[in-house]
Amino acid sequence: MENISIDELHDKIGNLGENDLILDVRSPGEFSEGHIKGARNISHEDVTSIADELKGHSTVYVHCKMGGRAKMASEALIGAGLTNVVCVGDGGMQRWMDLGWPTE
């Protein structure tokens, strides 16, 4: 499984393709408090329910608040047969917000 930091994701944002997806696996409440523009939200416990749909993306960047749930969700998706998963850890959304990067 490929792992990158939230800083690396921030650096990639402007170059993501139309078929790349940022998947926020925090709770809906956390997501509504602020998220990366264009991110899709599904709880880390429910990611495998959309695994077949996610296979259609070039890359799925999975992140959460600090990295723990992103790792669990990424492992679950890989177990469901996905090969396009990148786990984003090392600070997660908490760091994103702490640094004042844009959210919606």
Q: What is the pLDDT of residues 90-99, one digit of tens each?
A: 889 999 999 9
Class of domain 2-98: alpha beta
CB burial of residue 92 (10 Å; 0-12, 13-18, 19+)? buried
Residue type at 91 in one-letter notation? G
- Kindly state the average pLDDT of the residues 25-52: 97
Can you say how many angstroms the Cα of residue 94 is from the centroid of all Cα atoms in its chain?
Answer: 13
Cα angle for residues 100, 91, 33 (degrees, 5° grid): 50
Q: Which pair of structure tokens corresponds to residue 77? A: 């998706």
Average pLDDT of the chain, as a whole number: 96
Tell me the pTM: 0.96
Q: Which residue in this structure is represented by tokens 């993306």?
A: 57
Domains of the chain by residue range: 2-98
What pLDDT was estimated at residue 95?
96
Q: Which pair of structure tokens corresponds to residue 64? A: 């959460």
